[in-house]
Amino acid sequence: MTRHRLPFPATAASVLLVFCSFVCHCNSQLLPADEVDALNTIATKLKNTHWPKLTRTSCSDNDGFNGFKVTDYIKSNVTCNCSYQSHSVCHVTNIQLRGMNMTGVIPQEFGRLAYLEELDLNRNYLNGMIPTNLTQIPLVILSLTGNRISGTIPKEIANMATLEELILEDNMLGGHLDPNLGKLSRLRRLLLSANNFTGEVPASFGNLKNLTYFLIDGSSLRGKIPEFIGNWTRLSRIDMQGSGIEGPIPSSISLLKTLTQLRISDLGGPSSPFPDLKNLTKLTYLVLRNCSLTGPIPPYIGDVLADTLYTLDLSFNKLTGPIPDSLQKLKKLNFLFLTDNMLSGEVPRWVLQNRHNMDLSYNDFTASSLSTCQQSNVVTLVIRTDWCVKKDLPCPGKPQYRSLFINCGGQKHTVGDKEYLDDLSTEGPSNFVAFNEQWAYSSTGYYLDNDKVRGYTVNNPFALNVTDSVLYQTARLSPISLKYYGLCMIPGRYKVRLHFAEIQFTNDETFSSNGRRCFDVSIQGEEVLTNFNIMEAAGGAGIGIYKDFDDVLVNNTTLEIHLYWSGKGTTAIPSRGVHGPLISAITVTPNFKVGGGLSTGAIVGIVLSSVLIVLTLIAVWLKGVLCRREIKDPELLSADLLTGRFTLRQIKAATGNFSVENKIGEGGFGSVYKGLLSDGTVIAVKQLSSRSKQGNREFLNEIGMISALHHPNLVKLYGCCTEGKQLLLVYEYLENNCLARALYGKRLHQVKEAH
């Protein structure tokens, strides 16, 4: 019997053919050998253990070289394009290695990846300079946020014709911005915040007409905001917070009709009126904080932004007049900050009934419609005509406290013989809390890039080596402004100790240790720390330190400690929205003797001295030399100046913090400034240059001289201020510089100062 071989089924042959073709096709999609070598070298240098040992077939696995994503901040992915040479050759086009804590320098081998379009190394621990050979590859995106990159931006980057995004935030770059960067005509996003760039923004940047994002916060630039920003007509967001740039905001800003976020703060330079923003109808975030803006809030804000505006921050300016009723049209408004202006009138009823976050503190509103400082858990109304800040929170009863101990953000603790009071309120972002007429605090602002943050206290999450005290295990923080008050303090001189420990950053070689927190500290209106960096001062994170201030004068029963973020430091480490002041504890003790008995001789001496002093003061008072001149002007009477004493806060507000533009004279013993009180009274303030014994003598001599002498140019003395290290005299203002001539002018007009 003949056996016949069965024919191979046609369908099986077809399947086998397709399978073989697929296998051959897949195996033929190969990475060039030089790219494989470059990638393996990169992995070795960066200690990137997530990549396997790469081969020419690594792109065929479609796994992004063992890609993963934990959060947007922590992810690894590699993209290959295998469409070259009839789908037989692959090239790496995108590399994302975010938040992987890679160390060392950026490997030069990235420059060998000839098809690389995106290099994202955000939030690692990379240092050194940007490799210049990156300019030899067709990068579209170069993103290095949150590392330790130093040096300058290489001038060769200006030759990267393909570059669309240059993202270098939160590094240690410095130097002048290269004018040649203005040649990057395709550039859309230029993010340079939290570095240390100097000089002016080059005029050539006006050629970057495709820009949609320009961020330059926290730098050390100089010069004015350039007019050429009006060329950036595609701009969606501009950030200039604490950049070092001066105002005013140029009129060309009105040309940026696509702008959705405008964030400018802490401008230097003279005061200026509110900029014309009527054409910016798409704004969602409008932040013009501490920009020396004057005049009223424009009513058009409520009209043109009724359907878009989410956040309005005009705090720390010199705005006057009432809150416009048109602001109630802002349907999407969730945050309103008008803190520390000169706004007046009654607070509108719609504000009191609003359930959104609003801070109207430190203005001149009337109290007729208010019952408390904190109207609700979201509306803070600290006003100057009720106790809340009746000129600086005066004691409603008898001064009784000689010390103050606060464990900021934490529980009550006893340390030695001191009992530190608890400070547990987690409310924010606009909050005022007073505790038993002994102390209070107010917090202003919210984290714009992380508005989910609600509790403004922080615990030690890293088990860091915080030494010396349990006080450093917690802290209170604030995005912008944090004020602590000691209330009903017995007048005298005190020692203030402020405790700090950085417990939001780490002390290791991870991206969380790259953060830099910088803020300013003022006590009694006098700045005592500028751009204070806790980690730098302590020598690392998690280390408790304190700063002592030994001679703080409390002469009106209230101690004020103000911590303020002026836009400096990092803002995106370990995540976006981490910035602003942080404090662990406050210790206030008297510099004068408390308690204890006195000998008979001491008592007799004190009595005799007191009698002599009283007789002297009576004689001086009768001559009108204790800052208590006769005041007949009803406006001054209504301004509560009969005591003849001004607070440093009042004078700083009136003179624009002793702005150069308000200076009207200068002599051997100080300067004279023009000022405007909140009630409209124009004054002249003489600031003596020394708080030494000589300065004190000049101060008293001048008061006596004004009382005793008669002169055609002699002006009325309204009062004085002796807070901190200041010696200030407040005069009636004469037009046409008559006061300056009277004090410092030519001999014909000069009243000589006593020497």
Nearest to 732 by CA among 659, 629, 618: 629
Average pLDDT over every residue of 540-554:
94
Widest CA span in the chain: 148
Beta-bridge mates of residue 435:
439
Distance CA 118, CA 591 (A): 61
State both tokens at 284.
């969602």
Would the pLDDT of 600 be above 80?
no
Q: With beta carbons less than 8 A apart as the criterion, state whether 728 and 688 touch.
A: yes
In the chain, which segments carry CATH 2.60.120?
404-590
Would the pLDDT of 624 be above 50?
no
Confidence of residue 24 (pLDDT cuts 50, 70, 90): very low
Would the pLDDT of 583 be above 90?
yes
What pLDDT, in 10s, does the model give residues 335-345? 999 999 999 99
Distance CA 632, CA 640 (A): 12
What is 728-748 written as a DSSP string?
EEEEE--TTTHHHHHHHS-TT
Residues in the chain: 755
User: What CATH number should be reported for the domain whose range is 404-590?
Assistant: 2.60.120
Would the pLDDT of 159 be above 90?
yes
pLDDT at 514: 96
Distance CA 411, CA 218 (A): 34
Would the pLDDT of 258 be above 50?
yes
Distance CA 374, CA 352 (A): 10
In the chain, which segments carry CATH 3.80.10.10?
216-386
C-alpha pair distances (Å), 748 with each of 2, 400, 488, 713, 742: 142, 53, 50, 11, 9
Backbone dihedral angles phi then psi of residue 414, each to the nearest 5 degrees: -105, 120
pLDDT at 158: 96
State both tokens at 397.
């009863």
Q: Who's near 323: CB < 8 A, 6+ residues apart?
A: 297, 338, 343, 345, 347, 348, 351, 360
Q: Who's near 232: CB < 8 A, 6+ residues apart?
A: 208, 209, 211, 214, 238, 256
Q: With beta carbons less than 8 A apart as the criterion, state whether 563 and 584 touch.
A: no
701/89: higher pLDDT: 89
* Total H helices, total E strands in the chain: 11, 46
Backbone dihedral angles phi then psi of residue 471, each to the nearest 5 degrees: -60, -25
Tell me which of 202-206, 291-295, 299-303, 411-415 is least confident: 411-415
Beta-bridge mates of residue 521:
529, 563
Distance CA 526, CA 457 (A): 26
Tell me which of 130-134, 480-484, 547-551, 573-577 is least confident: 573-577
Average pLDDT over every residue of 89-100:
97
Distance CA 597, CA 607 (A): 15
Distance CA 416, CA 15 (A): 85
Would the pLDDT of 529 be above 70?
yes
Q: Cα-atom radius of gyration of the chain, to the nearest Å?
A: 32
pLDDT at 364: 87
Distance CA 378, CA 370 (A): 15
Q: Who's near 188: CB < 8 A, 6+ residues apart?
A: 164, 165, 210, 211, 212, 213
Q: How many CB atoms lie within 10 A of CB 49?
A: 9
Which CATH number is 627-744's, of 1.10.357.10, 3.30.200.20, 3.40.1440.10, 3.40.50.2000? 3.30.200.20
In the chain, which segments carry CATH 3.30.200.20?
627-744
- The enclosing H or E element of 616 equals helix 600-622
Indicate the residue type of 678: S
State both tokens at 187.
């550039």
When the pLDDT of each residue in the chain is averaged and rounded to a whole number, the result is 83
State both tokens at 299.
């009513």
C-alpha pair distances (Å), 357 with each of 337, 446, 680: 8, 10, 30
Confidence of residue 439 (pLDDT cuts 50, 70, 90): very high
Would the pLDDT of 4 be above 50?
no
- The enclosing H or E element of 434 equals strand 431-435
Would the pLDDT of 94 be above 90?
yes
pLDDT at 147: 98
Would the pLDDT of 20 be above 50?
no
Quote the Cα angle for 487-492-493, to 5°.
100
290 CA to centre of own chain: 10
What is 33-82 written as a DSSP string?
HHHHHHHHHHHHHHT-TTS----TTGGGG-STTT-EESSSSSEEEEEEEE
Tell me which of 224-233, 437-446, 666-675 is least confident: 666-675
pLDDT at 6: 40
Quote the Cα angle for 75-77-79, to 5°.
155
pLDDT at 88: 93
pLDDT at 392: 63
Distance CA 47, CA 63 (A): 20
Cis peptide bond N-terminal to 574, omega within 30: yes
Q: With beta carbons less than 8 A apart as the criterion, state whether 272 and 294 touch.
A: yes
pLDDT at 492: 95
State both tokens at 183.
């040649």
Distance CA 734, CA 539 (A): 53
State both tokens at 250.
């140029």
Distance CA 748, CA 728 (A): 26
Using a pLDDT cut of 90, give the percent of the chain over it: 59
Domain 216-386's class? alpha beta
State both tokens at 383.
């006003």
298 CA to centre of own chain: 25
State both tokens at 658.
């002793």
Q: With beta carbons less than 8 A apart as the criterion, state whether 538 and 545 touch.
A: yes
Nearest to 268 by CA among 227, 240, 231, 239: 240
Burial of 462 (0-12, 13-18, 19+ CB in 10 A): middle
Distance CA 337, CA 335 (A): 7
Return left, alpha or beta for 686; rule: phi > 0 is left, psi -120 to 50 is alpha, else beta.
beta
Q: Was 547 annotated as part of a binding site? A: no
State both tokens at 122.
């955000």
